Homo-oligomer: A and B are copies of this chain.
Amino acid sequence: MKLSLRGEYALRALIVLGLNYGRSVVQIQTISRQQNIPKRFLEQILHDLKSAGIVESRRGVAGGYRLHAPPERITLAAVIRHIEGPLAPVSCVSERFYEPCTCPDEAKCGIRSVMKEVRDAIVKILEGFTLAQLCERVRQLHAEPGNPLDYII
């Protein structure tokens, strides 16, 4: 599980949306400027998150994006799985993205059994972590919360 830039951008964008949950939609341009993410690239990412049902959009003049579900119900595991694919270090130990590897016999593969442990450790952390908790951490990291839109993540 390595987080690509795409994945990092997705999380940063979701934090912004999370901090604004319950208010109006947030425009791509706003997120792009605030987080220093290439706008066109961010468009793609948000569209991707929409197709995953994580965010929803509103078009037109006062358009923008917002979370589809409350941030308490969005786990980091779900987000990263959708953007990055398997959380497992090798896909032959992935539950949701299983693919056979090149080893002659999986059942007798020593590497597999270790990587399964790694996978479980990663999954345990990321499934137990919601976007709400992440937003809370961000809030805590800022001594004096001003306008949420100005948060530097």
Contacts and interface: CB of A to CB of B under 8 A. Distances in A.
Nearest to A113: B137
A138 interface: yes
A61 interface: no
Contacts of A137: 110, 113-114
Number of copies: 2
A152 B106 CA distance: 9
Contact of A102 (B36, B110, B141): B36
Contacts of A1: 1-2, 89, 118
A52 interface: no
Nearest to A108: B141
In the A-B complex, the 9 residue pairs with the smallest Cβ-Cβ separation, listed nearest first, are A110-B138, A121-B121, A108-B141, A104-B152, A110-B137, A3-B89, A2-B2, A3-B90, A105-B152
